[in-house]
Amino acid sequence: MIVTRFAPSPTGFLHLGHACAALTAFEAARAADGSFHLRIENIDLTRCRPDFEAAIFEDLRWLGLSWPVPVRRQSEHFADYRSALNGLDSLGLLYPCFCTRKEIAEEIARADFAPEAAELSPEGPLYPGICRTLTTEIRRARIARGDAYALRLDVAKALASLGRELIFDERGHGANGESGIQAARPEIFGDVVLARKEMPTSYHLAVVVDDALQGVTLVTRGEDLFPATHIQRLLQGLLDLPTPVYAHHRLILDRSGRKFSKRDRAPTLRNLRQSGATPEDVRVMIGL
Ligand code: GLU
C-alpha cells in the first residue's frame, strides 16, 4: 500500500508552497487507494508554536484534506530519536564536537587548512573536521567540565562501515531535475550534526525515524529537499530502516521567480481564504 505524508513545521502560517506539498502527498495516496499521514515537525521548540499548529489543521481541512491516522507530533517522540542516536553511537559513528560557529568559520578562513574546508555542503560550509580527531581523553575531560557539544556523524567512517553503494529511487525532480535511480552521496553534507543539547535530534534523524515508524513508502516534498535525501539515505542504511521511493516536486515560485517562504511574507492560505479564494482557486494557482 502507498503511504504518503505531509510534514510541516509549525513556525508560521501555511502558504502556497505548503499547499502544493500537502495536496501532492494527499492526491498520491488517494490515487493509489493508499494512506496519507500528517506529521508535525516541531523538534525546534524555540521556533514552533501551538497556534501555528492549530492553524495548519484548520487550513488543511479547508483545503479538503483529511488524515485518518492520528497526527504524529515529533516533540512527543524524542525517545525514539534518542534510541536511534544510541544505535549510531554504539556503532562508534558519532563524535562530540565542541566547536562554536565562530571557531568553524575561523578554521575555514585559514588558508593553510585542508582544501575540503572551503567547500559548501547543502546546509552551509562543510565542517572542517576539527573535533573528529580529538582523543578520547580530551573528549571525556571536556564533557566532564561541562563544555557544550553537538554530536556529529563521522560520514566517512559510516560509509566505510556499510561498505556498499547506497541508492534511492527518485520519481520526480531529482538531480538536475531528472528522475531515476540515484546514487546517494552523503559526503556532500560532511559530518552532519545529529543532536545538540537544546535540540536532541536533527531534522534528518527525526525524518528517517518517523518515515520508517509511520510506514511511509512514498516521500513527496519540494525539490529544495532533494539534496537532504543523500544524507537521509545514509541514515536509513546505518539504522537498517527501509528506504521509501522519493518524488520531489517543483517549487511554487512567486511573481519574481523566488520560492515562497515564511520570511518573505508570502501570501498565506488564510490571507487567500479571507480575500475570497476557494480551495479550487488554490489548486489552480499551484497547477494541480
Ligand atoms: N519539515 C520540513 C519542512 O517543513 C519538511 C520535511 C520533509 O518533508 O522531509 O520543510
pLDDT tens, residue by residue, 233-246: 999 999 999 999 99
- Which pLDDT value is given to residue 257? 73
CA of 33 to the centre of ligand 1 (A): 24
Phi-psi region of 267 (alpha: psi -120 to 50; beta: other; left: phi over 0): beta
- Mean pLDDT computed over 120-131: 90
- Which pLDDT value is given to residue 21? 97
CA of 222 to the centre of ligand 1 (A): 8
Q: Whose CA is nearest to atom 2 of ligand 1?
A: 8
Provide the whole-model pTM: 0.93
SS3 assignment, position 243? coil
Whether residue 108 has pLDDT greater than 80: yes
119: Cβ–Cβ under 8 A, 6 or more apart, which residues?
A: 125, 126, 190
90: Cβ–Cβ under 8 A, 6 or more apart, which residues?
A: none
Of the listed ranges 61-65, 152-156, 194-198, 250-254, the least confidently predicted one is 250-254
CA of 133 to the centre of ligand 1 (A): 33
Q: Which three cell numbers stand for residue 48?
A: 514552533
From the alpha carbon of 5, which atom of ligand 1 is closest?
8
Of the listed ranges 89-103, 117-131, 179-193, 214-228, the least confidently predicted one is 117-131
Binned at pLDDT 50, 70 and 90, residue 288 comes out as: confident
Whether residue 117 has pLDDT greater than 70: no
Whether residue 259 has pLDDT greater than 80: no
Residues in contact with ligand 1 by the CB-under-6-Å rule are 7-9, 41, 207, 221, 225
Whether residue 29 has pLDDT greater than 80: yes
- Ligand 1 pocket test, candidate residues 5, 59, 221, most atoms within 8 A of CB: 221
- Which pLDDT value is given to residue 124? 86
- Mean pLDDT computed over 68-82: 97
pLDDT tens, residue by residue, 131-177: 999 999 999 999 999 999 999 999 999 999 999 999 999 999 988 88
- How far is the C-alpha of 131 from the C-alpha of 139, rounded, in Å? 9
- Ligand 1 pocket test, candidate residues 23, 41, 73, most atoms within 8 A of CB: 41
- How far is the C-alpha of 49 from the C-alpha of 75, rounded, in Å? 12
Whether residue 267 has pLDDT greater than 90: no
CA 247, 253, 258, 261 dihedral sign is negative
Whether residue 284 has pLDDT greater than 80: yes
- Ligand 1 pocket test, candidate residues 201, 203, 226, most atoms within 8 A of CB: 203
CA of 39 to the centre of ligand 1 (A): 9
- Residue 221 belongs to what H/E stretch? strand 218-222
Of the listed ranges 86-90, 109-113, 184-188, the least confidently predicted one is 109-113
What end-to-end distance do the CA atoms of the chain give, in Å? 23
- How far is the C-alpha of 153 from the C-alpha of 282, rounded, in Å? 41
CA of 209 to the centre of ligand 1 (A): 14
Q: Whose CA is nearest to atom 4 of ligand 1?
A: 8
- Which pLDDT value is given to residue 177? 83
From the alpha carbon of 211, which atom of ligand 1 is closest?
9
Q: Whose CA is nearest to atom 10 of ligand 1?
A: 8
- Mean pLDDT computed over 61-77: 97
pLDDT tens, residue by residue, 169-206: 999 998 888 899 999 999 999 999 999 988 999 999 99
Own/partner long-range contacts of 85-91 (Cβ < 8 Å, ≥24 apart): 85/151, 85/194, 85/195, 85/200, 85/201, 85/205, 87/238, 87/239, 88/153, 88/194, 88/238, 88/239, 89/151, 91/161, 91/238
